[in-house]
Structure 1
Amino acid sequence: MDTNQTDEDRRRFLRNATVATGGVGVIGVAIPFLETMAPSEAAKAAGAPVEANVSSLAPGKLMTVEWRGKPVWILHRSDAMIAGLGQHNDLLADPDSSKSEQPAYAKNPGRSIRPPFFVVTGICTHLGCVPGFRPEPGAPDLGANWPGGFYCPCHGSKFDLAGRVFKNVPAPLNLVVPEYNYLSDTRLLIGEDKKST
């Protein structure tokens, strides 16, 4: 029996076993390290699109969903609400939404893809307060010419039922319309439009 050959076989075996063990160790250390660089589930969810089901949302009612830590309102406008949108443009600072932030498909009098459903970020463009939903036209505390809409109690900014800002209030711009699209007649995806899907 050749002891030199046996020693060489042992060395080869030990070298291969050491390399394999070291490789497993490197992989074992690298995986948790690389996982710490990936965004957390909370971070992914914070920017991820949000799905909303509007099948049970009755005309004249408002629902709120959260997207990117902000309230997003979905208003199911009644036929009367839609018909009233063009009747008070003289009271508005930007009736055509030329200075406001909204996707191109929402740059219309109703600021929406489909007139009955209005999707808007529920944050006042003045200092970030959350306006209240005040749909009743002619509310005594808001004046006889109030067409219904959103009123910010912090500093008195007013917005109509398309989120368009009134003249002579602190808010400089219309409410922001986020990107969104329809997955079906009753399901919306907020935070992503058709071009990016």
Structure 2
Amino acid sequence: MADTVTGATSDPHAAGDDPNRRDFIHIAAIAAAAGAVGTLAWPFIDQMNPSGDTLALASIEFDLTKVAEGQQVVLKWRGKPLFVRYRTPAEIAAAVKDDNADLRDPQKDEDRHKPGKAEWLVVVGTCTHLGCVPTFGGGDYGGWFCPCHGSHYDTSGRIRKGPAPLNLAVPDYDFLSDTKVKIG
């Protein structure tokens, strides 16, 4: 652009003030700082991952031949009791009959066990009210009863009466064979 008084042209980049170069230097400095922060922060973030012994408890395998019809086994899984129950045909029929009952936490019996394996019910054995351990056979519905506060669960582990807000939790599990189950 020509100056009207002197006739000289003024170039904003003539003195070496290239804005593209300055932008590149700023971006490179920010990227280097972000990389340094990430390098310093990673050990702190990584130490929050579960340890090897905790990961080993994440899943367990159980031999179902140890449980007779009408019995349950209590396993320890992730620091909590886990009920593996071999239900009788009468218990299954009672659970299916109550599918349409007035339930606080509505869930059908078929949603609480694996397809084709209605006789096997696997639930976390802690009351959903305050975490007590319910006992089997003491409730009004043929299932579990929590003596601490009076929660009654049916033969499918669904809450039917008492202060507990939810059904007994069903963990992720898969049948590895007809006689072996993997939980977690």
1:161 corresponds, among 148, 155, 168, to 155
Deviation at 1:92, TM superposition (A): 3.2
2:125 matched residue in structure 1? 122
Cα shift at 1:110 = 6.2
- Quote how far apart the aligned CAs of 1:84 are: 1.3
In the alignment, which residue of structure 2 is the partner of 1:176? 169
Summarize the Cα distance change of 1:158–1:74 in structure 2 as closer, same or farther, 3 Å threshold: same
- Flag the structure with more relative contact order, 1 or 2, with Cα contacts below 8 A and sequence separation at least 6: 1
If each structure's strand is expressed as a fraction of its own residues, which one has the higher value? 2
The C-alpha deviation readout for 1:46-69, integer Å capped at 9, x for no partner, is: 3x2100111131110000111111
Measured in 2, the distance between the counterparts of 1:52 and 1:183 equals 10
Structure exhibiting the larger radius of gyration computed from Cα positions:
2
Paired residue for 1:147, among 123, 141, 145? 141
The CA deviation string for residues 90-121 of structure 1, in whole angstroms up to 9 with x for no partner, is 35323x42xxxxxxxxx644610010000000
The percentage of counterpart residues that share the same residue type is 44
Give the gaps of 5 or more residues in structure 1.
1-35, 98-106, 192-197
Let me know the Cα RMSD of the aligned residues: 2.3
AA aligned opposite 2:178: D
| Residue matched to 2:64 | 54
What's the offset of the Cα at 1:85?
1.1
Distance, in Å, in 2 between the alignment partners of 1:39 and 1:69 is 14
Structure 2 residues without counterparts, runs of 5 or longer: 1-45
Counterpart Cα distance in 2 of 1:148 and 1:55:
24
Please give the residue correspondences for 1:83-98 in structure 2 after superposition, counting only pairs within 5 Å: 83-88=93-98, 89-90=100-101, 92-94=103-105, 96-97=106-107
Of the three residues 172, 180, 183, the one matched with 1:187 is 180
Aligned counterpart, 2:56: 45
| 3-state secondary structure, aligned to 1:55 | helix
Alpha-carbon spacing, 1:110–1:82, altered in 2? closer, same or farther (3 Å): farther
Instruction: Choose which of 79, 84, 105 in structure 2 pairs with 1:74.
Output: 84
Q: 1:87 offset after TM fit, Å? A: 3.0
Give how far 1:73 is off: 0.6
- The count of aligned residue pairs is 136
Question: 2:159 aligns to what SS in structure 1?
Answer: coil
- Give the distance between the partners of 1:56 and 1:44, measured in 2 at CA: 25
Residue 63 and residue 75 in structure 1: after superposition, are their counterparts in 2 closer, same or farther (change >3 A)? Answer: same
Where does structure 1 differ by over 6 angstroms across 4 or more consecutive aligned residues? none
